[in-house]
A and B are shown apart, each in its own frame.
Chain A
Amino acid sequence: MAQAINVEDLNIYYGDFLAVEDVTVTLQPRSVTALIGPSGCGKSTFLRTLNRMHEVIPGAYAKGSVEIEGSDIYGPGVDPVNVRRRVGMVFQKPNPFPTMSIKDNVLAGVKLNNKRISRSASEELVETSLKGANLWEEVKDRLDKPGLGLSGGQQQRLCIARAIAVKPEVILMDEPCSALDPISTLAIEDLIHEMKQDFTIVIVTHNMQQASRVSDRTGFFNIAGTGKPGHLIEIDETEKMFTNPSNSQTEDYISGRFG
């Protein structure tokens, strides 16, 4: 189910502004890749091009190719909507649908797409997805309560369950813990560990400890200055990145000299 992602010569623009320049990288299947770097370096922008969420912003577009399972998601005739069904996303702030119950939030991908699903199949999907997000035990008795009634950490796991329920191959996480308390963060990190058996996970994080805790490989993005495009400086095994990076910029960043 999980697939490698081959990114080749990717340039990302906001209108005329080149935000990220010339990224070529392969993201491994069934593993967690963390992207780190200072604010504004383009790591989130890059992440959002992996499921074509980037172009939701007016005027934004990308050039280059991103291949998943051998097919270019930027190829001719590719529907970004279908791409997003294969590449799920979890956002910075938990964003459950305010009008939906916990159960409906999990089923959102099905229901919002007007797909028919039998009652038993939907119950099973809710249970497996919530179990996959380590939330089942906490909410199984109040599935019909509004999703907004949960705590921040629970909401974020609900959003992960919602993403899992669409059965994607890849899950992108854009600083999923930045709005959460330490205990909720830990719960999500544990969850990421379990999830990598089934999914290719790419996570953007501000937090280097988090990157070192959850990821197998780490990529470092940097910019030369404001207004300049971001670059992928280096990507390698996490352990190597944090102990013996080959690029001096990475070393400066990891050792806390800037960022």
Chain B
Amino acid sequence: MSTPAAADPASTAPEQDPAQSPEPGGSKAVAGRRSKRRPGDMIFTGLSVGSGLLIFVTLALVAIFLTVRSIPAIRDSKELGGGPDAISLWSFAAPLVFGTVFAALLALIMAVPVSIGIALFISHFAPRRLATPLGFMIDLLAAVPSVVFGLWGGVWLVPKMQPLYELLNTYVGWFPLFGGDPSTPMRNLATASIVLAVMILPIITAVSREVFLQTPRLQEEAALALGATRWEMIRAVVLPFGRSGVVSASMLGLGRALGETMAVLMVLSPGATFSLHILEVGQHNTIAANIASQSAEATPDVMARLIFTGLVLFVITFVINALARAIVSRSAKS
């Protein structure tokens, strides 16, 4: 630190290759050397670096707390609770994981095509003047609190869907998804997934729309100039260009659907099976909804297994989101 560059003749030798000279490290100190650092600068630097680190610490704490608090459940994983109601951690958690993933995938299957359609509608079909207000209407959906979606789903949507479900069950009941014996009120996984699908529409639409709008204008016009119809142009230019964006948007949506609590809690009549019959009532439940409904009266050991499922959910969404971000950043680079 105490070698000022000017006092060190070697450091100013003109013929030396700067890339190989050892000085840069030392002379960064020249630029950064402020022995009289201002207290304001020091405090402010400390605060902002500290806040950044606090985020790191928080996430670490989330992981640590969930892990530590679920240790009792993992330790007694063979027989949770003891006594006649004993249940293994596996048979407790596995149906919940199944239900969570099943509901989220169903929601995704419904939401992705519609979202792509809306995104194309706003980016390539609607008149330019209407594009912004129409996009705003979709964003409005994102502003609705999840509990209101739950209320709407439970009170309004459930009876509205009943005729369709009965039709499906009667005529397409041979197909596993629509089989089984649905009973009213139809608080089944199908309705819960529909509400989930509506809730993840805005995020998938928003991201896809952004990507579609970034399609190079020249390529679009080239396709149209060759006599392509609008749809042929979209298939040849817009969709290939936006593919990775749509994939990552879908994964972001999947992450949301996996973690959403209220829509499922308020719409679904819970159960704990691996049933594929989405119209049947009382067969499925999701991790998030189960935690929300059980935690109020949970004894410490019940709490431990709930937290264990929470940890599982955290890990699943973490992986999904990390994958989505990786796809986004990879396509952003290319």
Do A and B interact directly, with beta carbons closer than 8 Å? Answer: yes
Q: Once the chains bind, are B30 and A62 in contact (CB under 8 Å)?
A: yes
Instruction: Give per-residue flags for B25-64: 1 if the beta carbon is below 8 A from chain A beta carbons, else 0.
Output: 0011011111110100000000000000000000000000
Is there a chain B Cβ closer than 8 Å to A175's Cβ? no
Contact residues of A between 39 and 61, Cβ < 8 Å to B: 52, 55, 60-61
Which residues of chain A are near B145, meaning CB under 8 Å?
Answer: none
Indicate whether A11 sits within 8 Å of B38 (C-beta atoms), given known contacts A16-B19, A60-B31, A63-B5. Answer: no
Contact residues of A between 200 and 255, Cβ < 8 Å to B: none
Q: Once the chains bind, are A64 and B2 in contact (CB under 8 Å)?
A: no
Q: Once the chains bind, are A22 and B18 in contact (CB under 8 Å)?
A: no
Is there a chain B Cβ closer than 8 Å to A139's Cβ? no
Indicate whether A79 sits within 8 Å of B12 (C-beta atoms), given known contacts A61-B28, A64-B5, A72-B6. Answer: no
Which residues of chain B are near A16, meaning CB under 8 Å?
Answer: 18-19, 24
Interface of A is mostly: strand
Is there a chain A Cβ closer than 8 Å to B23's Cβ? yes
Task: Tell me the count of chain B residues lying within 8 A, CB to CB, of chain A.
Answer: 21
Count chain B CB atoms within 10 A of each CB in A13, A16, A76 and give the residue with the most.
A76
The residue on A at minimum CB distance from B34 is A79
Q: Once the chains bind, are A64 and B35 in contact (CB under 8 Å)?
A: no
Indicate whether A61 sits within 8 Å of B6 (C-beta atoms), given known contacts A13-B18, A16-B24, A17-B18. Answer: no
Instruction: Give per-residue flags for B71-90: 1 if the beta carbon is below 8 A from chain A beta carbons, else 0.
Output: 00000000000000000000
Q: Once the chains bind, are A64 and B24 in contact (CB under 8 Å)?
A: no
Q: Once the chains bind, are A63 and B28 in contact (CB under 8 Å)?
A: no
Distance (Å) between the CB of B276 and the closest chain A CB?
56
Which residues of chain A are near B35, meaning CB under 8 Å?
Answer: 76-77
Contact residues of A between 70 and 89, Cβ < 8 Å to B: 72, 74-77, 79-81
Distance (Å) between the CB of B291 and the closest chain A CB?
45
Is there a chain B Cβ closer than 8 Å to A18's Cβ? yes
Which residues of chain A are near B28, meaning CB under 8 Å?
Answer: 61
Indicate whether A65 sits within 8 Å of B6 (C-beta atoms), given known contacts A15-B24, A74-B30. Answer: yes
Q: Once the chains bind, are A22 and B31 in contact (CB under 8 Å)?
A: no
Number of A-B residue pairs, CB cutoff 8 Å, is: 65
Is there a chain A Cβ closer than 8 Å to B11's Cβ? yes
A259 to B200, CA, bound (A): 57
A171 to B14, CA, bound (A): 29
Which residues of chain B are near A21, meaning CB under 8 Å?
Answer: 14
The residue on B at minimum CB distance from A54 is B31
Indicate whether A64 sits within 8 Å of B38 (C-beta atoms), given known contacts A17-B18, A18-B18. Answer: no
Is there a chain A Cβ closer than 8 Å to B4's Cβ? yes
Distance (Å) between the CB of A84 and the closest chain B CB?
13
Which residues of chain A are near B5, meaning CB under 8 Å?
Answer: 62-65, 74
Distance (Å) between the CB of B75 and the closest chain A CB?
50
A60 to B18, CA, bound (A): 13
Indicate whether A80 sits within 8 Å of B34 (C-beta atoms), given known contacts A18-B18, A22-B12, A63-B12. Answer: yes
A-binding residues in B (CB < 8 A)? 2, 4-6, 11-12, 14, 18-19, 23-24, 27-28, 30-36, 38
Q: Shortest 8 CB-CB distances between A and B: which pairs?
A: A65-B6, A63-B5, A61-B31, A18-B18, A77-B35, A9-B12, A55-B31, A22-B14
B-binding residues in A (CB < 8 A)? 8-9, 11, 13, 15-18, 21-22, 52, 55, 60-65, 72, 74-77, 79-81
* 8 A-B residue pairs with CB within 8 Å: A16-B24, A18-B18, A55-B32, A61-B31, A63-B30, A64-B6, A65-B6, A77-B34
A60-B31, A72-B4 are known contacts; what are 15 more A-B pairs with Cβ within 8 Å?
A9-B12, A11-B14, A17-B18, A22-B12, A22-B14, A55-B32, A63-B11, A63-B23, A64-B12, A65-B5, A72-B6, A74-B6, A75-B4, A77-B33, A80-B34
